Amino acid sequence: MTDEANQNQSNARVVRKLLLVVVGMFGFGFALVPLYDVFCDLTGLNGKTATEAVTGDQFEVDTSRMVKVEFLANLNAGMPWEFKPVTHEMEVNPGKPMQVTYIARNLTGQDIIGQAVPSVSPGQAARYFQKTECFCFTEQVLKAGEEKLMPVTFIVDPDLPEDVREISLSYTFFTKPGSEGASKVSAGKPLAHKPNQEI
């Protein structure tokens, strides 16, 4: 076998190994996403909050302290909506159910499906911020030019560490790919306006 043939075989082996490494890295990248989500759900890292409702009857109201909650609204790049909270902040007693309302408006001439992703900061507070009702639990459909009021009912867990006196609840809305077909999705009726209130 000539030196050139040996070199070709060696090159082919290197290429195969590199391809295996690329495929392995690609698969590992996909596996990291669900693993990271599970880790965040368990630890509250990165401010991720629960994506399912909890009931509020298991909490006892702590009237001895107040926690300031700030409400923020963001849109992913290119999201053609207006989105904001009705109230920007409030003081709450841990354990007491509270409600705040957000407003979203579709600025385009077509129906659009959006999904809100919540985040809580500081990250250590995420596991103590419980939502009993939230527009983030489901996709939201706004018809062309439609405005929708979207309430969030939440409870700050009384077990929140004493040194945490302020919490920020932030939502970022993303456009669902192919949302021009949003009119085919059952969106339900727009929610009636409720003032920010105790429940």
Identify the pLDDT of residue 91: 97
pLDDT of residue 36: 43
Q: What is the pLDDT of residue 3?
A: 64
For residue 25 the two structure tokens come to 């890295």
Contact predicate 87/100, CB 8 Å: yes
Indicate the residue type of 123.
G
pLDDT in tens, 55-89: 556 789 999 999 999 999 999 998 999 999 999 99
* pLDDT, position 24: 58
| CA–CA distance, 80 with 182 (Å, rounded to integer) | 14
CA within 13 Å, CB half, 108: 15
pLDDT for the residue 58: 72
- Given this model, what pLDDT does residue 179 score? 63
In whole angstroms, what is the distance from residue 58 CA to residue 151 CA? 21
- pLDDT digits 0-9 by tens, 145-162: 999 999 999 999 999 999
What is the DSSP code (8-state) at residue 192?
Answer: P
Below-50 pLDDT ranges, the chain: 28-48, 50-53, 181-199
Per-residue pLDDT at 22? 62
Q: Would you state the pLDDT for residue 9?
A: 75
> What pLDDT does residue 5 have?
66
Strands (E) across the chain are located at 67-75, 81-85, 89-92, 98-106, 112-121, 129-133, 140-142, 147-156, 166-175, 197-198
Measured CA to CA, the distance from residue 131 to residue 174 in angstroms comes to 20
State residue 97's pLDDT score.
96
pLDDT of residue 14: 73
Contacts of 75 (CB under 8 A, 6+ apart): 81, 83, 172, 173
Give the pairing type, strands 67-75 and 166-175.
Answer: parallel
Q: What pLDDT is attached to residue 135?
A: 96
